[in-house]
A and B are shown apart, each in its own frame.
Chain A
Amino acid sequence: MVVAVVVVGDVVVVVGVVVVVVVEVVVVDVVVVVSAAYAEAAPRAARTTPIQRNQTPRRIAPVCRTVRLFVELLQRNAILRPLRRGAYDLTVPGHVVPEESAGLAVEVLDLVKRYPKSRVNAVDGVSFAAAAGEVFGLLGPNGAGKTTTVGMLTTRVRPTAGVARIGGVDVVRDPVRARAQLAVVPQQSNLDRSISIRDNLIFHAAYHGVPAREREERADELLDQFGLLDRARDRPDFFSGGQSQRVMISRALMHAPRVLFLDEPTTGLDPAARLFVWDRLRELRDSNVTLILTTHDMDEAALLADRVGIMDHGHLLALDTPAALISSLEGEGTLELTADQAADGDVVDALGALAGVQKVETVQVGAENGSPEARPPGAQPLRVRLYLTGDAALCVAPAAAVLAEHGLALQDVKLGAPTLEDVFIHLTGRTLR
């Protein structure tokens, strides 16, 4: 029998928290169960199922039986090298684990969280990964599961199923080592109110084992960088939101984390403070720190994030760069035209017939002003919004020509490019703010 095996570079382990990747091998039509340590393996599989420590889910059991037979077959043919009881080296000679997968700062695979007494999963099978130095934005309305996802990654929420790793460290199996590599900047201040902000930084570093002299130096350095040096001896009680935020970011950086989690980092900050924080975050990204930010702010996500995941009802609905997400929208742009006088449906039809126009929508002028009876219907000047497949600017001249043909003059033109917010509304059906 000729066996073609697609192997993902790991061992068969059905003990411990592993991900079982079911690979259909076409040649012999056998089902292979492979544990994969890497999320990138999952897309190659026909089906993936997370397995909890020491348990074999019923739906996996038949597959496991098949695997036992398959493993025996491979052993007989001296393809498999037994490692220990129940574990075999399935690595194909010459197969190298892709470097990218080893370099992932954050890996989330089929993560599920169901709170006790809840009927639905707060997080329902979320998978994503972030590389070192990447800025990853998690967007979603309240209750979408962002906070729970981040809670699981930061060891404060125990996953019901699935795998989460920080710098390759499994957060469930080794939370202590995971904590050493991450830092969290919450939305609300959790600074130690009994001690000065400088001591806040220094004690945080002490918890993380930074040597005494180094933590003093680094504290002064960071306080300086964040414009807090003159307030170093103050207690955080009367700090404004923006100041607390800056203290918390500098505290988080004291132990040089590989992954920094930020929850709504600039909500409630004034524009100057916001720009300041954005600049600092960009610097961090440049120094290879991975930033995971959860935010409501579309502009912030579009501006800062390399990639954005949009969540709702515990699911990851979309995951891509902001630009790719925006271009995934059917319409590329919008064009809003206002004419000098009212017009009949013919004009609208003619505009709809233009090349590149997907849809024409009549905009009620009165409705926008909040007084629909301001003018009798029909007396309103024509106002339409065109949804386009191409660039809006290119459509202005043809549209103006159509209006002129019908004896109308163009009074106002608004060009619109779709934003991340449009993507969000398209996916979740609701606005954020």
Chain B
Amino acid sequence: MSAVAAPALEQGAQWRAFRAVLYRDLYVTWREFPAFLAQVILQPLFLLFVFGKVLGTLNYTQHGYTDLLFPGLLALTAVLTAMQALAFPLVAEFGWTKEIEDRLLAPMPTSYVAAEKVLFAVLRSLIATLIMIPVGILILGSIPWRWDNFALFVVALVLGALVGAGFGLLMGTLVRPERITLLFSLVFTPLLFTGCSQYPWPSLDQIRWFQVVTACNPITYVSEAFRGAMVPGVPHIQPWICILVLIVAVSVLLTVGIRGFYRRAID
């Protein structure tokens, strides 16, 4: 009988597997870059065009509304892109393509597979959100931008992407494949319209119950943090509250999401 002791995995082998899986995702995204762009840009682009350009030109919105809207749409893009990048592929991979099995059998802990999904979703979200800036300039002519609050912008952007990834992980592991259409109507649409992206939160004083509803949506805090960074003159939720709420939301969503991932990955 030949020497049979199992070879020790060299240090870094697990990270190498992690990097290889991330590289695979980036490779596929790069090869389908036009499709990726269409997927992430189209929705905010139309929202920008209709709410910012069309309604403004027709004088249905007040002057300065686009300054409120733009940070909100950035928030929406950051959260929803990350969420879509995770939720839909995950439902499909666990549900019918089973593509994820090859990665779950790679020599790395199961949590790394989940972490890679989160990191990839965050990267996609960052790219999509940053692309929105030139798109905004192109459609609106100018966007509100301040370098003095850049740090807040970056922190809110990353937390927003992580919130989206957390939602995506949760949805992707909880939703059964046959229910994937429900995901759209029951989760996406409410999130889209209660995230304070089209209106600043303090202005909802007049509709108290809706203000309470929107306060439950983490996207609200991303929108408000972006407003704090880009249009500090407009009344908004204090940035430190936004950051705190987002950190709590990210922790809860990722903890529950990774637990759900484990449940799907290992019986």
Contacts and interface: CB of A to CB of B under 8 A. Distances in A.
**A and B physically associate:** yes
Interface of A: 99-100, 102-105, 115, 131-132, 148, 151, 154-158, 166-169, 175-177, 179-184, 186, 188-195, 199, 203-204, 206-209, 251, 288
Nearest to B96: A188
B101 A177 contact: no
Nearest to A151: B267
A89 B258 CA distance: 41
Nearest to A206: B20
The 6 closest A-B pairs by CB, nearest first: A103-B1, A190-B98, A207-B106, A206-B20, A180-B107, A157-B267
B9 interface: yes
A326 B77 CA distance: 66
Contacts of A206: 20, 23-24
A100 B1 CA distance: 7
Given A132-B2, A177-B6, A207 B267 contact: no
Given A177-B6, A177-B9, A209-B17, A193 B266 contact: no
Interface residues of B, number: 35
A288 B1 CA distance: 10
18 contacts: A102-B5, A132-B1, A132-B4, A154-B105, A155-B105, A155-B266, A158-B267, A169-B6, A176-B14, A176-B107, A176-B109, A180-B107, A186-B101, A188-B98, A189-B98, A192-B102, A194-B28, A207-B21
Given A102-B4, A103-B4, 20 more contacts: A100-B1, A103-B2, A105-B4, A156-B105, A156-B266, A157-B267, A158-B267, A167-B6, A179-B106, A180-B7, A180-B107, A188-B98, A190-B101, A206-B20, A207-B103, A207-B108, A208-B106, A209-B17, A209-B20, A251-B102
B241 interface: no
A167 B4 contact: yes
A176 B108 CA distance: 5
Interface in B92-132: 97-99, 101-110
Interface of B: 1-2, 4-9, 13-14, 16-17, 20-21, 23-24, 27-28, 32, 97-99, 101-110, 265-267
Contacts of A181: 6
Contacts of B4: 102-105, 132, 167-168
A413 to B, nearest CB: 48
Contacts of A151: 267
Contacts of A100: 1
A181 B106 CA distance: 10
Contact of B27 (A156, A168, A195): A195
Contacts of B107: 176-177, 179-180, 207-209
A204 B266 contact: no
Given A99-B1, A156-B266, A190 B106 contact: no
A100 B106 CA distance: 28
Nearest to A261: B105
Nearest to A167: B6
Contacts of B14: 176
A206 B15 CA distance: 11
Contacts of A168: 4-6
Contact of A193 (B16, B99, B105): B99
A167 B8 CA distance: 12
Contacts of B110: 175
Contact of A179 (B1, B7, B105): B105
B219 to A, nearest CB: 29
A176 B15 CA distance: 12
Contacts of B24: 192, 195, 203, 206
Contacts of B108: 176, 207
Contacts of B32: 194
Contacts of B28: 194-195
Contact of B266 (A102, A158, A166): A158
Contacts of B16: 209
Contacts of A104: 4
A286 to B, nearest CB: 14
Nearest to B97: A193
Contacts of B13: 180, 209
A115 B266 CA distance: 12
Contacts of B104: 156
B99 A190 contact: yes
Contacts of A209: 13, 16-17, 20, 107
A157 B107 CA distance: 16
Contacts of B102: 190, 192, 204, 207, 251
B23 to A, nearest CB: 7
Contacts of B101: 156, 184, 186, 190
A167 B104 CA distance: 19
Contacts of A188: 98
Nearest to A180: B107
B99 to A, nearest CB: 5
A306 to B, nearest CB: 15
Contacts of B5: 102, 167-168
B16 to A, nearest CB: 5
A102 B5 CA distance: 8
Nearest to A179: B107
Contacts of B106: 179, 207-208
Contacts of A179: 105-107
A195 B24 CA distance: 9
Contact of B97 (A166, A190, A203): A190
